[in-house]
Amino acid sequence: MFLTRHPGPRLSPFVKILWATDQTASPQSVAADRERVLPTGGMHLVFRLSDHALRLFEGINDPIGCRVGHTVVGGARATFYVREISEPARSVGVQLQPGAAELLFGVPADELAGRHTPLEDLWGPSVVEARERLVEAGGPQRQLDILESLLAARLPTVRGLHPAVARALGRFATTADVRQVVRESGYSHRRFIALFNRGLGLTPKLYCRILRFQGALEQVAAHPAASLVEVALDAGYSDQAHFNREFREFAGVSPGEYRELSPTFPHHVPIR
């Protein structure tokens, strides 16, 4: 079971989507005990409601991994990470909007980037009670209600993303010309990069690369018979070799290998 919901007006500037999943309700046979989770360019917050904690690995050859915990903030990143999926889990979480980190967690996004941070390190002991409320909530709709109220309670008086960064995000939806967007901002290159990195946890150039990768990933997942050369060119890559290099950098597999693995969810690639 996988349920998603858009947040209410108060949270929508900070949260893209709320979600709840319960793999224990309809367990599936998966020929893998680990998976790659591909980068999205954004951050997420997860409460794992199952007894077993999230376990992550340094790479696909790490035999042991490390226990991260039951409540985790995943920072923006530019490569995949490897997590354990050997046991069905119940979780509830959110995908965050750019600029939400400092408001919800009290630290800039770049301090959380590229890693997973236990929520207790940011919110303190109140996390234990919050998770208990979610565990006892019952159905997923009620879990999402509680999570939304928890996040709303953490927000101070609404402050938006820095105007220059907000404008840049709009421009990057149609152009990857970082220099031009920096010139339009009126800030020096160094100052603009610092503002952007503080808000999103990624540099503008890296953010644009991940946007391009996301566009290509969507096409590969949605159109299994499409020519990879055409996908590469449509996404803005110079040629298929460029596409292959960048896809492997972000996903850990080539586009062809990704297509053969045919993951159920585009960003969660089983390791077999």
- Determine, yes or no, domain membership for 95: yes
Q: Are residues 224 and 194 in the same domain?
A: no
How many Å apart are CA 127 and CA 262, to the nearest integer? 36
Q: Report how many domains make up the chain.
A: 3
What values do phi and psi take at 84, rounded to 5? -80, 140
- pLDDT tens digits for range 4-40: 999 988 888 899 999 999 887 665 555 689 999 999 9
Instruction: Please indicate, yes or no, whether residues 191 and 220 belong to a single structural domain of this protein.
Output: no
Q: Is the dihedral of CA 152, 157, 162, 167 positive or negative?
A: positive
- Residue in this structure with the two tokens 């999402």, named with its chain if needed: 144
Residue 173 confidence (pLDDT) above 70: yes
Is residue 59 one of the residues assigned to a domain?
A: yes
Q: Of the candidates 15, 18, 23, 9, which has an alpha carbon nearest to the alpha carbon of residue 143?
A: 18
58 plus 170 within the same structural domain: no
Q: Are residues 132 and 48 both part of a single domain?
A: yes
**Residue 252 maps to which CATH number?**
1.10.10.60
Q: Are residues 101 and 38 in the same domain?
A: yes
Give the dihedral sign, CA 229/232/233/235. positive
| Whether 70 and 44 share a structural domain | yes
What does the pLDDT look like over 108-148, one tens digit per residue?
A: 999 999 999 999 999 999 999 999 999 999 889 999 999 99
Judge whether residue 218 has pLDDT over 80.
yes
Residue 252 — φ and ψ, nearest 5°? 80, 0
Helix axes 163-172, 189-200, angle to 10 degrees: 80
Residue 90 maps to a domain: yes
- Both 224 and 149 in a single domain? no
Interval 187-198 mean pLDDT? 94
Identify the domain containing residue 239 by its residue range: 205-264
Tokens representing 126 are 């109140």
pLDDT grade, residue 171 (50/70/90)?
A: very high
For residues 18 and 80, membership in a common domain is answered with yes
**Virtual CA dihedral for 187, 167, 203, 208, nearest 10 degrees?**
-130
Q: State whether residue 155 is helix, strand or coil.
A: coil
pTM for the complete prediction?
0.84
Helix 228-235 vs helix 240-251: crossing angle, to nearest 10: 80
Please check whether residue 269 lies inside any domain of the structure. no
Q: Are 203 and 190 in contact (CB under 8 A)?
A: no
Which residues, 6 or more positions from 124, have their beta carbon under 8 angstroms from its beta carbon? Answer: none
* DSSP structural state of residue 7: -
pLDDT at 119: 96
Distance of CA 132 to the CA centre of its chain: 24
Q: Are residue 194 and residue 211 in the same domain, yes or no?
A: no
pLDDT of 158: 45
